[in-house]
Amino acid sequence: MRVLGIDPGLTRCGWGVVEGRPGGRPTALGVGVVRTSPDLDLELRLLEVHTAVTALLREHRPAAVAIERVFTQNNKGTAMGTAQAAGVAALAAAQADLPVAWHTPSEVKAAISGNGRADKDQVTLMVTRVLGLATPPKPADAADALALAICHTWRAPAQQRLRTAALAGGIGAPLPAARTLPRWTGVSAR
């Protein structure tokens, strides 16, 4: 399975492409960072992120896109920009008819290092080891994007089997069409 991982951000949007299977050693196919200038208007920065992700999808042809789920940070302005960058990355994936998986930072850290509270240096070290890279990917946004892609490569098949089993058992299945309930007449009608 080939996965494009996206660590969203407006100033630096990390990306990484890996190919692999659960239990196997994935291979890095590409890594980098999309940078936008803070001097540009927001809509132009988002357009640059969208255009770059679209080009990456065409170049690497992944089977899925894994994006870090944005959580509230101390700086709400930063969280908003990060969420907007994640949104345009998801839009590019949808336009390419690709599934998008959202992974929390702690889920990715646990998958790559065994510790959901690992720091950036630990994540970078483990990404370097898991992929057998000669040098650590820099900046940390690029390493985080590779970690997202690895996480999804390892976890997606199991998550899909659980989803299929849940649907087969009726969990999460669509509800039957709504039926109109008999009109309640209440006490006053008596």
Is 68 annotated in a binding site? The answer is: yes
Overall average pLDDT of the 38-47 stretch: 98
- Characterize 147-182 residue by residue with b for buried, 16 or more Cβ atoms within 10 angstroms of its Cβ, and e for exposed: bbbbbbbbbbeeeeeeeeeeeeeeeeeeeeeeeeee
End-to-end CA distance of the chain: 67
Contact 11, 27 (CB under 8 A): no
* Least confident among 3-17, 24-38, 176-190: 176-190
Overall average pLDDT of the 114-118 stretch: 95
What is the pLDDT, as a whole number, of residue 190?
46
Overall average pLDDT of the 90-112 stretch: 96
pLDDT over 50 at 61, yes or no? yes
> What is the CATH number that goes with domain 2-168?
3.30.420.10
**Annotated catalytic sites, by residue?**
7, 68, 141
Distances (CA, A) of 33 to 30, 122, 144, 149, 185: 11, 20, 11, 14, 64
pLDDT bracket for residue 186 (50, 70, 90)? low
pLDDT over 50 at 71, yes or no? yes
Q: Which residue has the higher pLDDT, 112 or 77?
A: 112
pLDDT over 80 at 170, yes or no? no
pLDDT over 90 at 41, yes or no? yes
Q: Which residue has the higher pLDDT, 22 or 129?
A: 129
Is 48 annotated in a binding site? The answer is: no
Q: Which residue has the higher pLDDT, 79 or 125?
A: 125
pLDDT over 70 at 162, yes or no? yes
pLDDT over 60 at 3, yes or no? yes
Is 7 annotated in a binding site? The answer is: yes
